[in-house]
Structure formats: structure tokens, C-alpha cells
Structure 1
Amino acid sequence: MTIIILDRHPGGPPPYADWLADAGEDLVLITNHPATDVDGYAEVRYIPDHGSSAELAVLELAATTTVSALVATATPDLVRAGALRDHLGIEGQGRAAATVLADPVAMRQRLRAAGVPTIPAGAVQRVSDLYWYRHRWGGGPVRVRRRKDPGWPTAAILRDERDLRAFTANGLTPNLITVPSLLVEPDLAGSRHVVHGSTQDGRKLVRDALSALPCGPELPYRVEILRAETGAWLVDTVDSAVATDHRAVVREQAGLPSREVTRWAS
């Protein structure tokens, strides 16, 4: 039995072998860091691009050993790992659930369908989408974010027609065959708050948001919330609180839930 770990942690791999020492299974590390301590691992594979080559490495290993778990905590790997679990019949988060947590547009659609108040958002695939959404939301400022980048960073804030024309002057992508990975949302004024909570949290908005998403019942999640000028509380984004308790996330994905999960205060 083998646990495969997909690693692209900045600065080098965390001590996965120590965290999973009680698993009683072989550990195989697939990493994009060339200088890696191999102690505790049955095998370490260095794959610099960590794209399709990492997927092929997982499939190659699965052909020669029984894979009991696949660990992947970096945002770019979540959907890839989910698809591999589906294909190989491995327990854990599948592609559909991973897509909801990795894509803020899908995430907010799921939250709204469950009655959880959230900031509106729309996918941007063409220039006309920006004009359409801005008109739909009353013609005020809009924020454009990079939909597939870790943390979904802001690409631009378009406050008026001049900003919109300048942002779209050269198109949304380097060439016509590339699909933009952008989202747009109204640039709402207010104060932003970050909460680390769980589906068992006592705060209703946090609990409702996490319960509406495919979130594990024990792990802490990072929930960003906007307190709008109207007084309304709106969910912005939700992601796994890897930076807060990376060990717990790794152990949960390996089928070894931590007994030391911290209950977070706001």
C-alpha cells in the first residue's frame, strides 16, 4: 500500500514523512524541488513542471502498487488530484468537489443556491461579459480577479468606462484561442474579515457557508467575509486553511485525521 504526495510547497517540502510516520504504508513524494531529503520515503521523484508529468507519474505508480491515498494541498493541484482519485478509485475529494472549492465562481453559485449571502460573481470569457455584468450590477465599479491563480488575486479595478476600455484594449488574452481565466464582481465598499472555522463553528454565516460546500467536518477553513456598507455580511471566498494547519490537512487527505485540530476564534 502506498500514499502518494504531490508537493509544490514554496521553499521545499514540509516534513510529510514525519507527519505520516504512523501510516504504516510506503510514502512516495512527487516534488518540484530538486534538493529534497529522502529519509522516510520509499521513493522521491523530482518533476520540475509538476503538470501532466506529475499525473503520468501517479498513473505509472498506480500500475505497480495499490495507492491508498493521494495528498495534494497546493491550489493548482486540487482539481488534478480530484480527477486522479476519481480515475483510480481512491477515497477522498473527487474532481467535482475540488472544482467547487478551487473556482470562486462555482463556489459562489453553490453558496447562493443554498441561501448563503455572497458577493455576486460572473465568469469572463469575452470583453462583452465585462460590459454586461457591469450594467447588470448598476454601472458601478467592478473588480476583475484571476480565477485560476492561487488566492484569486485582483487583476484590475474598473471604476468607469475609461478604465474598462483601457483594460480591454488589447483583448483579455495574448491570442484568440486562449480562454480567459477571469471573474468579475462588483467592487463593494466595506470591511473585509478573515475567519478560520469549521462546519461545526458556532458562527452561523461561517457554519452555513462551509456546510453548503464540500468541506470536511473537522478541518479548519479560511473564510473571507465582507461587511458591506449596508451592514450586510457577504461571503467572499472559502479555502482550506493549509497555512494555518498544514499538517492536519495532509493527515486528513492521507486518511489519518489529526487529533490536534485547533478550534479557531475569529
Structure 2
Amino acid sequence: MRYLILNRTPLSLFRFADWLGAEHEAVLLTDAAALSADPAERAAQLAGYARVEVVDDFHFNPLVESRALALHREQSFDRVLAVSEFELLRAARLRELFGVPGQDVASATAFRDKLAMKDILSAAGVPVADYAPVANLADLLRFVDRVGYPVVVKPRRGGGSMDVRVVRGPQDVESLLRAHRELGADDGGQLLAERFVEHELLHVDGMVVAGETRLMWASTQGETSCLDIKEGRPLHSCLLDPEDPLLEPARDLTRRALAALPTPETSMFHAEVFLATDGSLVFNEVASRAGGGMIEDMVALAFGPFLPELYVRTLAGNEPPVVPSAPDRIAGLSLFPPRPGTLEAIPDECPVPGIVAYRRYADPGAELELSQMSVGKIGSVLAAGGSRAEVEKALTEAITWFETATVIRSGATQTVRL
């Protein structure tokens, strides 16, 4: 088969041609930012593809689809492959134009558009927080009148917690209006408002193959939040122990959501479930792709297979890696976000027991700002152990170590540690 691959992920990690196998022809349409600047590394990343097209400003460039259509006219693709959250709808549109199988526009929309998703889940009886579409100020005020402050306002088709806001009062409404001028236009904005739920966030990650669950496990962010990183605070996540009483209820709720949605026969998924303060579980949302922010790495550390590789090999009919029914070990992660200032010192190695991988993403001298996404980071660690308690102990020690060893100069004379 001939595959068109739409890619905006680092090609050092996503080896699509290898995963598809030599029996398939792979044509790569990729974001320039996904390629290494080193010529030798770049050549290695592009080896194995029948053809490569490199595009700048990939996500916001409509010429990507135009170029894909031109390539299809030349060589007629049998499949379109995409693994990034922000390429799912584009890939679905191209499949329908090409007349090839795979996730269609209705399915991709249900997973990408949070309003469409909530409507489907609510109709199926899956517990979700109260919600309403927000196209203008009147919509928001009517919703606040109904549920009260605080409320969460987010883009209907966002990702990575980009532009997610907790609106706690009128002053935050004014800030929201300044940030979203489209709310004053005739066509309005594409936002969603939800009742704020005090919660602990659980993730449920896995994969469905031919309609059957191949992998499904839950993790918790504990007392940290996806929004913490945007405020300069570390985030951590850890897999639940097999005997954790939350594991099966979280998985069951995710199964119900996937059954209600038009889930592709073979699909990765990354779900978010709120554990409310009263002990109830409230479903937040689910994406038909692997979890970002090193969640893919955490799952691979615990189960073995890298989910995107498992997905691509399965689609291509190759023998996928064996997936155990439970993790071989408990794994966790911590992300260390930037804070405004000049980075003066950042460690090269992590000495904390239980930490199996440490990476840094910035060099001394870098000018830092707060991240706009929940996956923004200047450092990260992966931990492994025999239990959640053991892993979270290592993560806590790693956070203390990193905050002590990393120095950022804020302002002309003030030096602060993270």
C-alpha cells in the first residue's frame, strides 16, 4: 500500500517508514520543525521514504492539503496516516477527498470538537460537568448565571491546555474578552464553558485494535494540575497500582465514553477523568491519539511498546509488539516548566534514586518565559519502581533536586532558584 504521512512530530522519535515496513511505500509530508538541523541526522530521519515534502508553518498552512491533493493525483494514496492531535481533522478530510478508509470527518470532529464530544457523551449518560458553547459575552454570562463562578473556558478545538482559563469573577471575564476579540464579531468565537470541578486529574491511556481494547491503564497527577505548568509550577503523573480501587472505575468510565463516541476500529486514546472531591468520577474529554507531555514515554516504560509505533504497525498489518495486561513496573514522570528570566544554571545529570531518565531542554543563557501549554518544560524526568508510593517518592525528590540545582535570574539583579 502507498501511505501519505502527515507529520508535525520529531522524526527522531517517530520512524514511520520503519514501522510501516518495506512492503509499504511511505510518502512523507512533514513540518520543517520536525527535522533535525544536523545534515547527517536529517538524512537518517528521511531514509526509507519514497518521497519527502517539507513545509514551513505546517499547522496553519492550507497549502499542506493542496500539496497532498497534488501528490494524490500523481500517485494515488491508499491510506492517510496522522498521529498528532492537530492533524486528525486534516487527515480525515483528505481521506474523504481521496476515497480511502480510516477515521472519517464525523469521527475526528467528535474527538476534536469538545462541544460535539460533550453532546454525544451527555446524550449517552456519561457523567460530564455542566457545559455550554460560548460564541459571545452573552453566552458566557447566561452560563455563569446558571452555574455560578468559577467556570472553565477553553477553545473547542484546542490542545495541550492552550488558552484554557479559569474564570473566577468579572475581572477574569474582562481578561477573557481582551484575549478573544472574536467574541465581539458577528460570527462569534469557538469556545466552550464548563462548570469548574474541584478534582484530582486521572489520565486513562491505551489503544483499541479491531474494536477490542489492547491496552488501557490509568495514571494520576495527584495534587498537580495541567494548568500548573503555565504558572511555572512542576507537574507530575504516576500510573495507578494494579490494586488501586480507582483503576477499574476510571477504565470503565473510559470504556463507556469510547463506546458512545464514533471511535475508529483501531485507535490510540488519551482520556481525562476528574476525581471530584466527593469521590465521584466525572468524564472530561478524550482524544484519539496518544498522550503527550511524556505520557507516551511513561506508558512505554511500564508496558514496553511505544503507543504510536504499536498503532502504526497494527494499521500496516505488521506483527505488533506484545502488550502485557498489566504494567511490568509502575512508572511516572515530572515536567519542570520555565519561569520568566535568564537561565543561569541547569543540571546535566540527575542523581536521584529511581529516576531512569532525565532530559534538559534549555541551555544556560536562555531567556525564558512562562509556557503557554501544559507540556512546556526546560527539564523532565521519568521514574520507575514497584509501586506508586515508591515512584512518587522519587519524583518528589527529583523536583526538589531540580529546583535547587536550577537558577534563573529574574530582573537586573535578582537571582532566584526555581
TM-score (norm 2): 0.57
* Residue in structure 1 matched with residue 108 of structure 2 by the alignment: 98
Cα gap change, 1:225/1:258 in structure 2, threshold over 3 Å: closer, same or farther?
farther
Cα gap change, 1:65/1:13 in structure 2, threshold over 3 Å: closer, same or farther?
farther
Q: Distance in 1 between matches of 2:318 and 2:173?
A: 47
1:89 partner amino acid? G
Residue 88 of structure 2 is aligned with which of 75, 78, 81?
A: 78
Residue 177 of structure 2 is aligned with which of 155, 162, 168?
A: 168
1:48 aligns with 2:56: yes
Cα gap change, 1:66/1:142 in structure 2, threshold over 3 Å: closer, same or farther?
same
- Preserved CA contact (<8 Å) 1:142 1:184: yes
SS in 2 for 1:63: helix
* Residue in structure 2 matched with residue 191 of structure 1 by the alignment: 200
Residue 132 of structure 2 is aligned with which of 122, 126, 150?
A: 122
Residue 312 of structure 2 is aligned with which of 239, 250, 259?
A: 250
1:226 partner amino acid? F
Name structure 1 gaps, 5 residues minimum: none
Cα gap change, 1:52/1:155 in structure 2, threshold over 3 Å: closer, same or farther?
same
Give how far 1:95 is off.
Answer: 0.8
Q: Distance in 1 between matches of 2:318 and 2:125?
A: 30
* Residue in structure 2 matched with residue 158 of structure 1 by the alignment: 167
Query: Whose relative contact order is higher, 1 or 2, with alpha carbons under 8 Å and at least 6 apart?
Result: 1
Q: Distance in 2 between matches of 1:142 and 1:251?
A: 42
SS in 2 for 1:70: strand
Q: Distance in 2 between matches of 1:170 and 1:193?
A: 29
* Residue in structure 2 matched with residue 112 of structure 1 by the alignment: 122
- Preserved CA contact (<8 Å) 2:6 2:29: yes
Q: Distance in 1 between matches of 2:121 and 2:187?
A: 29
Give how far 1:260 is off.
Answer: 2.5
TM-score (norm 1): 0.87
SS in 2 for 1:230: coil
Name structure 2 gaps, 5 residues minimum: 37-41, 217-247, 297-306, 331-418
Work out the percentage of aligned pairs sharing the same amino acid: 28
Give how far 1:126 is off.
Answer: 0.7
Q: Distance in 2 between matches of 1:213 and 1:255?
A: 24
Give how far 1:154 is off.
Answer: 4.6
* Residue in structure 1 matched with residue 271 of structure 2 by the alignment: 223
1:241 aligns with 2:290: yes
The two structures, once aligned, show a CA RMSD in angstroms of 2.7
Give how far 1:11 is off.
Answer: 6.7
- Preserved CA contact (<8 Å) 1:100 1:107: yes
Number of equivalences = 263
Cα gap change, 1:89/1:123 in structure 2, threshold over 3 Å: closer, same or farther?
same
- Preserved CA contact (<8 Å) 1:79 1:99: yes
